[in-house]
Amino acid sequence: MRFVSACLMVGFLPSAAAAAVPGEVSTCLKAAGPSYTLNNKIDPSYLKGDFDGDGQPDYAVVVSRGKQQGIAVCRTGAAAPILLGAGAAFNDMPNLDFTAWSLHPKSRRVPRGLGQKRPPVLTGDALLLEWESASAIVYWNGKRFVWYQQGD
């Protein structure tokens, strides 16, 4: 009986994890509109950092719009999130179908990308997006989010 109970509990963990997002993330997703939903296929489904370098905590959330994946960046004090992908083209891609992501802290130098110009100096934390054979840094340049290819 304990085994059955444990199996049932494990089966419900992804839904419970998706429901356990901070209030700021829920508010941000509502502001994005009803067509954007939390994508819990990527773990973690959200990251917390100071993405715009203003000293305030922000959230980046993996979202879906239909079959397209992207990121909603929820900046402290902003009325609506900045949408990257999930139907809103970012770096000429409406679908950011990355398979993993992590926080790239401002304090860590960005390595030179393969065939890229000089790497950026970060003013805030950045996002490291990963695919099977490629990766990119997404960072705030003071006006908007920018893509810096790391490898292919």
**Is residue 98 over pLDDT 80?**
yes
Closest listed residue to residue 47, CA positions, set 32, 36, 33, 62: 62
Cβ count near 13 (within 10 Å): 9
**Tens-digit pLDDT profile for residues 116-141:** 889 999 999 999 999 988 999 999 99
Closest listed residue to residue 20, CA positions, set 45, 37, 42: 45
Question: What pairs with residue 88 in β-bridges?
Answer: 85
Sequence length of the chain is 152
pTM above 0.75, yes or no: yes
**Tens-digit pLDDT profile for residues 2-61:** 433 333 333 333 334 445 889 999 999 999 999 999 999 999 999 999 999 999 999 999
